[in-house]
Structure 1
């Protein structure tokens, strides 16, 4: 799947570039494509530099948590649920505890913590994989849920809206929660269908129902708070949770007589080894994405969607927000730029800008996640992971449009 996808990016870029050259008369497109290749190669190295430090730091602390038995206890607690969702993963396996920590970090918007934990979880799942170059069912489910945008506190979207002068920066909070919930549910259902998981099992229903009740209560609590109060709570929860987890690792580790410094160094070395293996995968995927963007293929797709919506007689305001959705699976920074451009052009509280904000908060950089997570363990055949992840993204986009017409139209 990844072979065909990667080749398809270049073929689509070539077709779009020929269109711009032969029909529009823009020979500069080829210079832009070649320039994009070098830019993406440079960006890949810059991303790697950030990952080196982040992975080294977090995998060092994770090694302390493992030595103290915290990950094992978390795995035992969630064993009944994961026995149904990931039946090939033994109960009490360390991957389960790491997956739980990864989801918690994602939910709080702690990307710097979530990625290293997720990579360690993917490595643990790889130890159970009978075909090392082919993604296992458990790895696919884990990746798709990561790519479905699990963030419950989209503080960065609030920050950008505040910078652009929004009257109420957090007015998109509830729409984002609804849209990202749709994305996650779609990802889970699509994987369950492909893998024939029994989601109607009483244990699974109890866990999912409990999570839904907690999410609903959380939404109800925040709905009555002011924008300033939500922003303050978001920042406090994220940072307090992050430092509290690290402190708990150290204190419990010391109580269990774990040599915390030596254990941290051993884990940090693992982080260094994981990071250096990612560069080829990042260069391959980011360069393909850069070529696709530079060729104008995404602009052609947007024009086609606008024409179709107009021909059917639909309201076309939602099309003005689509650039954010179209580039988000490929690049988080490009999506942020598209969102900010929409805010600047239409106004920060306009319908297209509000929709772009919701799309930004409810979708994920799918191909980056694929490259980093599968690249960290050398997986080349993704099976149904790409299709399920993109379906989750599509659900997030469609839900964003529906929710924004409900809230803001």
Structure 2
């Protein structure tokens, strides 16, 4: 991200500088041209305007983010994560036959995927790290990723998303008339990319054997493994309690729930415009009623979640300023027009306009950077959140993950250095997510 940020700024500066050296109003110029700002003045004005717009966007995002994360907190405390966990556990035991059904790793993985499905990134990460530590307790070669680890992270980076709450919030803050319009597109793209991730991980694992552990690897200090081996009571009580209740949902119920989720895609495509106005108010009423019926103190829970939303919005403010100023410089200097024109020749016929290409490339590298790029595109008057490009970048954002960050954090937590085929499977999932996003957005919204 450091190199990318610096490169954007330098390219914009050099482009504006080149135009400045050639800029001459001349005696034959019209009065309007003579009064126009020079390229460097336009660059300076673009920087100030972009910085101001970033703060305005962040301030507008505070309330919307607080609203959505408040609702998510009510649903979380009402046990929605556990309900989803019960639905997917019968499928999980078949995907991970090498992990015992009653092992803490299974419960932690299920809760991680459930949190991801609801767009609860902050809640998903602790469960994911704990899952990796529990999986490492089953690892015969310390420092090397097991097949289960590789498959888990491939699914994690492509996870099915039912509710991309943060993306919906940013679309609403950007003035979208249909902020929840990406629900069917995101669901479609994540289902396709998850299938691709599972297939890639299972296919490539045979070409990347684990091998035999060396004496140095066996001597590696792994204090988290001792917790599981000694039966420590600190082993993720939430995951254990979730596991003990899993038998309530048999396999056919999981298949039925998954089928209903898949069938929801054509339903939203057919009745999407009629359903869209009901989604956000329906979420408000539905989540609050769900929490109330489950005995949750909904007001206090909503306030606690809203505080988290306020903190999240404030944390991303510096990132928004940085990336929006850099993109604004690129646009004001004229460099963006040159880049867009060059790439559009190749990408536009494929349904991926050059304006959306930076999102596709940046998303696996940086979450904050890709949020900034998405915000820049959605707030661009020439594009807007409800255009084809606006829907496309929103879908890409909601259906993919910061792959390199996830791999670094999760593997770093268990000191795994040899990741085998994990990165390959995850990147394939990212590419498929972009392709699926282009396909579904082209079908629903048409190309700009």
Among 78, 84, 105, the residue aligned to 1:95 = 105
| Deviating more after overlay: 111-120 vs 301-310 | 301-310
Partner of 1:286: none
Partner of 1:194: 204
Among 403, 407, 412, the residue aligned to 1:375 = 412
Partner of 2:95: 85
Partners of 1:152 and 1:86 in 2: how far apart? Answer: 23
1:220 Cα shift? 6.2
Deviation by residue 1:166-187 (Cα, 9 ceiling, x = unmatched): 2222222211111111111111
Partners of 1:159 and 1:309 in 2: how far apart? Answer: 29
Partner of 2:358: 323
Task: Give the alignment of 1:155-304 within 5 angstroms.
Answer: 155-195=165-205, 209-219=255-265, 223=271, 226-234=275-283
1:385 Cα shift? 0.7
Partner of 1:275: none
Partner of 1:112: 122
Q: Which runs of 5+ in 1 are unaligned?
A: 1-8, 27-57, 66-70, 198-204, 248-289
Describe the shift of the 1:78–1:218 C-alpha distance in structure 2 as closer, same or farther (beyond 3 A). closer
Partner of 2:149: 139
TM-score by length of 2: 0.56
Deviation by residue 1:103-135 (Cα, 9 ceiling, x = unmatched): 112111122221111211111111001122111
Paired residue total? 306
Partners of 2:293 and 2:419 in 1: how far apart? Answer: 36
Correspondence 1:335 to 2:370: yes
| Deviating more after overlay: 79-88 vs 148-157 | 79-88
Q: Secondary structure at the match of 1:319?
A: coil
Partner of 2:432: 395
Partners of 1:219 and 1:312 in 2: how far apart? Answer: 26
Larger Rg, first or second structure (1 or 2): 2
1:408 Cα shift? 0.9
Q: Secondary structure at the match of 1:399?
A: helix
TM-score by length of 1: 0.61
Partners of 1:383 and 1:228 in 2: how far apart? Answer: 46
Deviation by residue 1:4-46 (Cα, 9 ceiling, x = unmatched): xxxxx99x97xx79x969x9799xxxxxxxxxxxxxxxxxxxx
Contact between 2:343 and 2:354, CA under 8 Å: does it hold in 1?
Answer: no
Contact between 2:154 and 2:425, CA under 8 Å: does it hold in 1?
Answer: yes
C-alpha root-mean-square deviation of aligned residues, in Å? Answer: 4.5
